Structure formats: structure tokens, C-alpha cells
Copies of this chain bind each other. A is one copy, B any other.
Amino acid sequence: MQKTAVVKSNDHIAAQLAPVGRETVQDRVYLELRRALIGGLFEPSQVLTIRGLADALMTSTMPVREALGRLITEKALEALPNRSVRVPPITLERMDDLLRARILIEGEAIALAATRMSPRQVSVIESMLSEWDEMRALKLKKDVDREVTLNQSFHFEIYRACGSAVLIPMIESLWLQSGPCIRVAIYAFSEAGEVDTAHFHRRIVGALAVQDAAAAREALIADISRPFNFLRNKLQSEAASKGTS
């Protein structure tokens, strides 16, 4: 026993330095990649290698390949016939497909949430609006990362209130899939003149406060449709200009 303890002493010290012993490395890698995908840190069509990610995340290939497998089944990544994996490319068809699914499922989730949220929960959501105004006030530099994170928190705080353990993972999967698109759109947003995200979110909160499920669904649809419509116009105009050149 002592002998093995001596051999293990390195591991033991490492374990003390990293007291988060509960979570596994593969979960950490999975969450890291997930965050990167939702945030749009990877470009569409970018190919990812197991060893490359393992080096970047300071671990072996083992946890990475399991995380990649999980992300592939969620359609957040794509397995090519080469056996290599890449971020799915953006196409108009896929965008419309994703938007339709998001309208369907997230719309249902918020309608459910509207009838179930307590005034207490609504006030929590409402308080998140002020963070937006804060960020808006000191918007010297465009903090796209923070905007993405805040937007995500706002929406999922609502979805969590729908009380469906089935719908929420599906919504997470949809966000994972549309992450790369959204990032492009939000980035283009901050260039193309300030469109007030907070305005749409206030509409949502207003509908939730009076438990108007239909209004909440409509407001949500308007909110999540914006980046898709924006990106669609952008892609179409690009295609048109390429056609004329």
C-alpha cells in the first residue's frame, strides 16, 4: 500500500491542486467545446482534429474523442466520410430549417413557461434586463462575447421555467447547431447600426409578466428570427453581387 502510495504521490499532489475532482476531464472538454460552439468561436466548415484539440486543452486524446462523438450525435459537429470532423457549413436551407425548429420548440417552451412562471421568477428575468442597459451604457468596445452569454442566460432562464426535461436538451442542441450562424449575425449586427436587442427582450418580459402565452411566443419568435433574417439577407445579397460581378 505504501509502495503504491509513493508511486502515486505525483498524482496525489496534482489531485490536491485540482480539488474539482468530481467532474471528469471529458465533461470539462465537452463543456469547453460546447461553449466555444455556441459562442461561435469556431468557423463554419472548420475541421477539428483530435490531437490538435487535445493539445489545446492540455489533455490526452481520450476525453477529446468522446466529447467529439457526443457533439456529433447532437449534430453540433459533422463527421465527414474521411472520418475527420468539422463544424457544419452554413447554407440557406439549413438556416431556415434551424429557424423553423427553433420557432416550434422554443415557442412551445416559452408558452409553457408563461403559464407556469411565478411572479418571483418573472422578476428574476426582469432584473436581467438592467444588465443589458448597463452593457449598453458603457459600450465603448463591442463585447460580443458578453452579449452572446447574456442572451443565452436570458433565454435559458425562461426555458428552464417550462419544466420540461425533454424540451430543454433539445433547445440546447438547437442552440449548439445554430451557434456558428448566430455569431456571424451578431457580429454583423454591431456593425450595421444598433438594433436594440433589449427592446425585444422587454416585450418578452412584458408578456410573461401578464402570463400571456401567445404574446410571449410571438415576441420570442420575433427575437430569435432577427439574426436569421439578417444573415439570410446578407447571404442572398452576397450571392447576388457575386452573380453580377
A198 within 8 A of B: no
- Hey, which chain B residues are within 8 Å of A147, CB to CB? none
Least CB distance from A207 to B in Å reads 20
Contacting residues of chain A (12-52) with chain B, CB-CB under 8 angstroms: 22, 24, 26
Contacting residues of chain A (69-111) with chain B, CB-CB under 8 angstroms: 69-70, 72-75, 81, 83, 94, 97-98, 100-101, 104-105, 108
- Tell me the interface secondary structure of chain A in the complex: helix
Chain A interfacial residues counted at CB < 8 A: 30
Best-surrounded residue of A81, A83, A100 (most CB of chain B within 10 A): A100
CA distance A73 to B81 in the complex (A): 23
CA distance A33 to B83 in the complex (A): 21
Q: Which residue of B lies closest to A74 (CB)?
A: B73
A174 within 8 A of B: yes
Q: Which of B22, B66, B101 interacts with A65 by CB under 8 Å?
A: B66
A57 within 8 A of B: no
Q: Which of B94, B100, B167, B174 interacts with A101 by CB under 8 Å?
A: B167
Q: Which residue of B lies closest to A101 (CB)?
A: B166
- Hey, which chain B residues are within 8 Å of A170, CB to CB? 101, 170, 173
- Hey, which chain B residues are within 8 Å of A81, CB to CB? 22
CB within 8 Å of B: which residues of A? 22, 24, 26, 65-66, 69-70, 72-75, 81, 83, 94, 97-98, 100-101, 104-105, 108, 164-167, 169-170, 173-174, 177
Further pairs besides A69-B69, A101-B167: 13, Cβ < 8 Å: A22-B81, A24-B83, A66-B66, A69-B70, A70-B72, A73-B74, A75-B169, A97-B164, A100-B166, A101-B170, A104-B108, A170-B170, A170-B173
The 5 closest A-B pairs by CB, nearest first: A70-B73, A101-B166, A97-B166, A66-B69, A97-B164
